[in-house]
Amino acid sequence: MTYAIRPVESELELVEAFDVMGAQFPKPLTHEDRHFTDLARRFPQDRSMMLVVEDEGRLVGGALAFRGGEADPGCDVTLRIIALVPEHRRRGLGRRLVERIEQEATRLGVRGIGLGADEAVGFYRRLGYRGKGGMYKALPLSSHDDPGSRRRALEELRERRRARLQGH
Ligand SMILES: CC(C)(COP(=O)(O)OP(=O)(O)OC[C@H]1O[C@@H](n2cnc3c(N)ncnc32)[C@H](O)[C@@H]1OP(=O)(O)O)[C@@H](O)C(=O)NCCC(=O)NCCS
């Protein structure tokens, strides 16, 4: 199997990716679910953290994250959903997806990654996430000291406020 991990290409593909991932849970989720709303709002700005896995052109899973956290919207990334269809699990793809989101979040100067974990707590623990229910991992500090990344984070925050005020 030749896997390709790449960012979601379009809003339409974001919907498809969420539905494929959502179908992997005991209580399936679809993009009609409120959990999809934040992702759609952050597309395409945070597209680099919205990833799909393809196996010979077929979408077999992915991980979708965006900037914005419950506690501190300017500083955190939320990993909203990660899932692979069963026959592609336990091959290291979940780890690759999370690590790629972490790299991208670090590049963007984000402080840490939070997620709500009802399932697969053991998986997240292996990747360094801590907590119960709400899990969190702090990212390396180096990029936070980069004034460029602080400026970008601030601009980002302003842009979000502007969008909110304009009712988007
Ligand atoms: C959770 C999920 C994304 C993990 O992806 P994966 O590709 O199977 O995981 P990986 O092969 O990259 O595993 C990474 C590490 O976590 C461990 N691991 C994987 N799934 C685990 C689980 N359910 N419990 C405990 N450890 C787990 C692996 O053994 C591996 O450890 P190692 O690298 O030290 O050997 C996948 O099992 C899945 O799609 N599950 C259904 C949907 C789901 O529950 N999503 C998470 C909640 S949003």
Residue 119 has pLDDT above 90, yes or no: no
Question: Residue 156: what pLDDT?
Answer: 72
Q: Are residues 43 and 22 in contact, defined by beta-carbon separation less than 8 angstroms?
A: no
pLDDT in tens, 33-70: 999 999 999 999 999 999 999 999 999 999 999 998 66
Ligand 1 atom closest to 126 (CA): 16
Q: How far is the CA of 42 from the centre of ligand 1 (A)?
A: 26
- DSSP string of 17-67, one letter each residue: HHHHHHTTSSS---TTSGGGHHHHHTTTTTGGGEEEEEETTEEEEEEEEEE
Residue of 90, 113, 119, 129 to mutate, ligand 1, most atoms within 8 A of C-beta: 90
pLDDT in tens, 16-37: 999 999 999 999 999 999 999 9
Going along the chain from its start, the domains and CATH numbers come out as 3-167 (3.40.630.30)
Close Cβ partners of 7 (under 8 Å, ≥ 6 residues apart): 47, 48, 49, 50, 51, 52
Pocket lining for ligand 1, CB < 6 angstroms = 24-25, 81-84, 89-95, 119-120, 122-123, 126
- 155-160: long-range pairs with CB below 8 Å, 24+: 156/45, 156/67, 156/74, 157/73, 157/74, 160/68, 160/73
- Note the pTM of the prediction, 2 decimals: 0.87
Helix/strand/coil for 119: coil
* CA-closest candidate to residue 113, choices 132, 134, 143: 134
Q: How far is the CA of 124 from the centre of ligand 1 (A)?
A: 8
